[in-house]
Amino acid sequence: YGLSFVFAIFSCAVALLLVRRPRRELLWLVVLVVPIALPGVPGPVAGSRRALLVQPDIDTEMQWTEDNVRDTQQKLASLSRTPGADLILWPEVPAPFYVSDAQFRDYTARIAQTAGTPFLFGGVGFTPQREPLNSAVMMGPSGKIVDRYDKINLVPFGEFIPPMFGWVNRITKEIGDFVPGERVVVFPLDGHKLGAFICYESAFPDLVRQFVRGGAEVLVNLSNDGYFGHSAAHQQHLEIVRMRAAENRRWILRATNDGITAAIDPAGRVVERMPAFVQTAGLLPYDYQSIQTSYTRHGDWFAWTCFALGFLMSAVSLIHRRL
């Protein structure tokens, strides 16, 4: 929001000059001096840990059968065998993987046990009422499920149809509507803590900071951008995630179905990225950070202050005109 403010204030200044408003109306530009006094961007840092990020490149239009689900699982298991990882990550649910399915749980448990590594993957969970959830599941090296995070901010017309819009076409072919999760989950990870947000929850800075406030020392973004085809939306989504890293001074590991899978450092720099639209896996760097930024601690006070002042000044101006 601070960067948006800088762009907005410059645009407003240019507009005032073009319409030849009095120069005194440009005095508020002095607030742009404030960023000069802010701390500089942290220098590059090397991650001392390695996470294995699996990019399955699964066709989002595939018609699923028992055979191709089994083949997909075998390919994912093969990609997950690279040694040297401190953590294994799969993207947001790329196939009909149901957490309640005992066979799927046994399959994922064997992957974690074989690697002897914590394993975070996307799957479909269910509420006690059997309503589907878009979930991220953490499994320990023993093959036991540690905890599950259920996506809180769902995509309208993609994961659910808002009330009164039942006649609108869906973006995806998912059968049935997902329901939102109700809690922010921070997973334990080898004496540290990890927060995982799913897909376009990256566009909600206040939500992402809740994971860090809850103790997350590294962040993970599980996503499936396959529905965007080869459009610029892949790169745009990556840019959004970079902002969340910089705001909270956290490494972010971004595991996607077909790209852009990447490791982002606490300053928002893309340290490493994997080629898009290919089935692959790679060891990407990350590390743990415990510092909390002003934004992490205090949230969107600046944006709300701007809103309140704007509303107040508009009211004063309206009253002044009527007088």
Q: Which residues are catalytic?
A: 92, 151, 199
The number of residues making up the chain comes to 323
CB-CB neighbours of 243 under 10 Å: 16
- The distance in angstroms from the start CA to the end CA of the chain is 35
Scored b (16 or more CB within 10 A) or e, 248-278 reads bbbbbbbbbbbbbbbbbbbbbbbbbbbebee
d(CA 82, CA 84): 7
The strand ranges marked E within the chain are: 49-55, 87-89, 119-126, 132-139, 145-150, 186-189, 192-198, 218-223, 252-256, 262-264, 270-273, 280-286
